[in-house]
Amino acid sequence: MIADGAPGPRPKRWRYAVWLAAVVLFLLNFLRLGIDLFSIALTAIVVALGFAIDHVETYSRRPLKNFLRVVLASFALALVLIVMPVMMGAGLWIGLILWTALSGAALVWCVYYERTELL
């Protein structure tokens, strides 16, 4: 919530460098492996996650910011621990147990942190 007359949040220059590096890496990946539906979907998910992280870091404030960070980290962990092994043909249960434990621990830490730290 920005007060009237106050300048909006300024984008940091390093964010532009991160987006440029991501574009270059995606283009190199497409040139090396070719374009298929899976790579396009994965690229779209990673780009959407990047925009969500940028939006949370730029426009949200504590305590909501920390809870949104936990949600985004949990989503990224789900991609790595559940979706990726299932796509490779591995079992689901170990990744699901790890994802549940890590996401639950992050949520408990976030609740504890927000209750004890001053704004």
Three-class secondary structure assignment of 31-45 = HHHCCCHHHHHHHHH
pLDDT above 80 (res 114):
yes
Q: Which two tokens stand for residue 93?
A: 């249960």
pLDDT score for 42: 81
Threshold 0.85, pTM exceeds: no
Domain ranges of the chain: 12-59, 61-119
pLDDT tens-digit readout, 81-107: 998 888 888 888 999 999 999 999 999
pLDDT above 70 (res 69):
yes
Q: Is residue 28 a contact partner of residue 75, using CB atoms and an 8 Å limit?
A: no
Q: How does residue 7 score in pLDDT terms, banded at 50, 70 and 90?
A: low
Q: Which two tokens stand for residue 66?
A: 């920390």
Quick one: residue 90, left, alpha or beta (phi over 0 = left, psi -120 to 50 = alpha)?
Answer: beta
Please give the mean pLDDT across all residues of the chain.
84
pLDDT score for 20: 84
pLDDT score for 106: 93
